Amino acid sequence: MKPVAFDYERPASLEDAIALLSGAGARVLAGGQSLGPMLNLRLAQPELLVDITYIPELKTAERQGDGLWLGACVTHAEIEDGAVPDVTNGALAFVAGGIAYRAVRNRGTVGGSLAHADPAADWVTCLSALGADAVIAGPSGERRVPVSEFLSGAFETALEVGEILRGVWIPTLSSAASWGYYKFCRKAGDFAEAIGAVLQDPERGIVRTVLGATNARPIVIDGAYGDESVRASIDSQGGDMDAYDRQVHFVTAKRAAMIAGVRVA
């Protein structure tokens, strides 16, 4: 299938992009790796695409305060290749390398992935586990919300009409921190059936378990890892998960915990 006709703009500044987005039927285009198929299938029929990948400030990646600033248009491949500073003891690069195929990673962006908010996407789970913040720019200024709040549901975010996700800020892990990330998918490069992510950072007093690829936003469990608390969270927050979903989510969380060293086999 082919998209309906649309206009295309490629602004050079965030201000111009925000101005363009104020019109009806305008939509942000980043890497196009999710929006492209939606256009082709005519699931999205925008009147104007605002390509934000030529806005320099959205391409920056630098240490900022006690963390890392990633502009929204930094690609999965740049993260995979170590082109951004490592503040997560390798977690970001590891996760990036497991997203889709290289061709998708070359264009797909961290901001696009979060804004698309597919529950099965990797950054959705990973950045929730790392305790990252989302920075949103809009006509009425800028606001900052934790990623776990930015994601309000399956394919739903805190973005208001006309707003752009400017980037994410990821806190630096202490050197003693450990993490485990276990993605279960049916074939390499496929979207996940279940993702378990566990972070343990004793110096910052954090132990966190995140269950991703649910039917809604990720399930975040703060505090010591326990098989029982994971099962209980699946029961209470898993929505309409069937026996299979419960099982694979439990197992991926358990394996992530083992990799992070907070659970023994």
Ligand X SMILES: Cc1cc2nc3c(=O)[nH]c(=O)nc-3n(C[C@H](O)[C@H](O)[C@H](O)COP(=O)(O)OP(=O)(O)OC[C@H]3O[C@@H](n4cnc5c(N)ncnc54)[C@H](O)[C@@H]3O)c2cc1C
User: What are the residues binding ligand X (CB under 6 A)?
Assistant: 27-35, 52, 72, 99-100, 104, 108-109, 111-113, 115-116, 121-123, 159, 164-165, 191
201: CB partners within 8 A, 6+ apart = 173, 174, 176, 177, 178, 207
Q: Token pair of 63, please? A: 């240490």
Q: Is 236 in the site for other proteins (CB under 8 A)?
A: no
CB 238 within 8 A of CB 249: yes
The rounded distance, in Å, linking the Cα atoms of 131 and 8 is 35
Measuring CA to CA, which residue among 191, 236, 186, 180 is closest to residue 213? 191
Least Å distance between CB 250 and ligand X? 21
Nearer to other proteins, 5 or 24 (CB): 5
State which of residues 65, 141, 186, 240 lies at the interface with other proteins (CB under 8 A): 186
Please give the single-letter amino acid code of residue 250.
F
187: CB partners within 8 A, 6+ apart = none
Nearer to ligand X, 122 or 201 (CB): 122
Print the binding letters for residues 130-169 with other proteins: x by CB under 8 A, - otherwise.
----------------------------------------
Only one of the segments 8-16, 34-42, 198-206, 211-219 lies at the binding site for other proteins (rule: CB under 8 A); that segment is: 34-42
**116 binding partner (options other proteins, ligand X, none; Cβ < 5 to 8 Å by kind):** ligand X
Length of the chain as a residue count: 265
State which of residues 12, 13, 15, 37 lies at the interface with other proteins (CB under 8 A): 37
Measuring CA to CA, which residue among 43, 18, 46, 258 is closest to residue 140? 18
By the criterion CB under 8 A, which residues form the site for other proteins? 1-5, 37, 41-42, 184, 186-191, 193, 243-244, 247-248, 251-252
